[in-house]
Amino acid sequence: MNRMRLLRCARNDTFKSGFMLLEAILSVVIVSICLTFIAQSLLTNFRTGVRFQEMTRSLIVMENRLGLLYATNLSEEDFNPYPQPLDKPYDKFALSTRKDTINDHLKKVELQLNWPVDKPQGHLDVTTIIYSPDEN
Amino acid sequence: MKIKGFTLVELILGLAIAAIIGLCVYNMFWQAMKLDDKMRHVHENYMEVLMADQAFSHDLENAITLDFSASYPDSVIFDGQKTEFSFLTQTPKGIKRVRYYSGLLDQNGVTKTMIGRVTNPSNNMAKGPLPVEFLLRQESSLADWLNETTDETSTQIVAAGLKKESFNCLYAPFVKDLHTSGSKGIDYKDSWDSKGLPLAVSCNFILYDPKNPQEGLMFKRDIFLAPVGSYHNEQ
């Protein structure tokens, strides 16, 4: 009986004394972990958005270039294996182009787009086979 | 003393700390929400750019020429102006006259874009009218085009976030020895009034960017019309 009373008193004392330092630290840690996760997910969302924008622009650049290569029947003038910065509005991109002959009619074309020009962080590679009869 | 609970000083201090932390968290989330909203807006614009690219490249790549000179001597097969162009194209519903131009629609017109965004740039309650307009695609039947009627004409908003008067088009004629000269041999002009189709159409437009409203985001799309082989043979 005395033991029970002693325990109850001890528990009541604990409640009256407020939170322990350990409890306070634990709750702060839990809250900060939750906030970190939320902040991280927002940041990831932002980064994904930026990457999507760059990807959209790079796809348009690639489509422009492939159309040009088809139209000029793979003119030598438009091939350069070293990254060349493009004209405005795509001046943040550098393009390198390569061509290999498969046979008299088929050419393997490799395009590589890097951005930004000074410190490339993103890239888009396209390899395709184009029907191109020899004109020479 | 312990049974009495918190003192007034403790309570005020606790409230002050909670308020400071709450303010910081609220500020952080408000900024994050604003950034997320801006990002979503830009994302939608980019989706519409991709949609616009798909729409006019598909239409232009399927452009055709038909000779109406006997019955309709004034008809122009490909009419290219600086801010708009119209031409005949093959669609699953038959041959149609398609016109691309920028502007605003009246209240009775379509207000949904191709990606399902409902927008009205002339009635932005929060910030007033935005300096943007739509990229529009007008599709007419052959009869409508030749007889200058609008019975079977519909208009669709391709993209909604274009900066005002930023949609410009250039047209390149066929060039001999394009294989030798490469891209340097292509010479774009402001308009197209020749009988046939141009070699290429270059469309430039600027997307309204809330982060940079003065400059915006510029896009340039070059579309080559003739299928592979046809203009090589003409050379």
B36 vs B79, more confident: B79
Give pLDDT < 70 ranges for chain A.
1-17, 135-136
- Note whether A124 and A55 are within 8 A (CB): yes
| B22 within domain boundaries | no
| B10 within domain boundaries | no
- Note whether B97 and B139 are within 8 A (CB): yes
Peptide bond preceding A89: is omega within 30 degrees of 0, i.e. cis? yes
For chain B, the average pLDDT equals: 82
Which of A13, A16, A75 lies at the smallest CB-CB distance from B178? Answer: A75
| B42 within domain boundaries | yes
Mark yes or no for CB contact A77/B183 under 8 Å: yes
pLDDT of B232: 43
Mark yes or no for CB contact A56/B49 under 8 Å: yes
- Note whether B144 and B155 are within 8 A (CB): no
Terminal C-alpha separation, chain B: 102
Which residue of chain B comes nearest to A40, CA vs CA? B32
| A136 within domain boundaries | no
| B24 within domain boundaries | no
pLDDT of B235: 42
pLDDT for B162-194, tens place per residue? 888 899 999 999 888 888 888 888 999 999 988
* Total tally of structural domains belonging to chain B: 1
pLDDT for B72-112, tens place per residue? 888 888 999 999 999 999 999 899 999 999 987 765 555 56
Which pairs with CB-CB distance under 8 Å and at least 24 residues apart come from A29-35? A35/B25
Tabulate helix, strand, coil % of chain B (nearest 5).
Answer: 30, 30, 40
pTM: 0.77
Which residue of chain B comes nearest to A61, CA vs CA? B221
Q: How far is A10 from chain B (nearest CA, A)?
A: 14
| A54 within domain boundaries | yes
Using the Cβ of B125 and the Cβ atoms of chain A, whether some distance falls under 8 Å is answered with no
Chain A positions touching B234 (Cβ under 8 A) are none
Q: A63 lies in which domain range?
A: 2-131
ipTM of the complex: 0.77
Among B29, B220, B172, B20, smallest CA distance to A38 is for B29
Chain B positions touching A52 (Cβ under 8 A) are 43, 46
Mark yes or no for CB contact A46/B39 under 8 Å: yes
* Total tally of structural domains belonging to chain A: 1
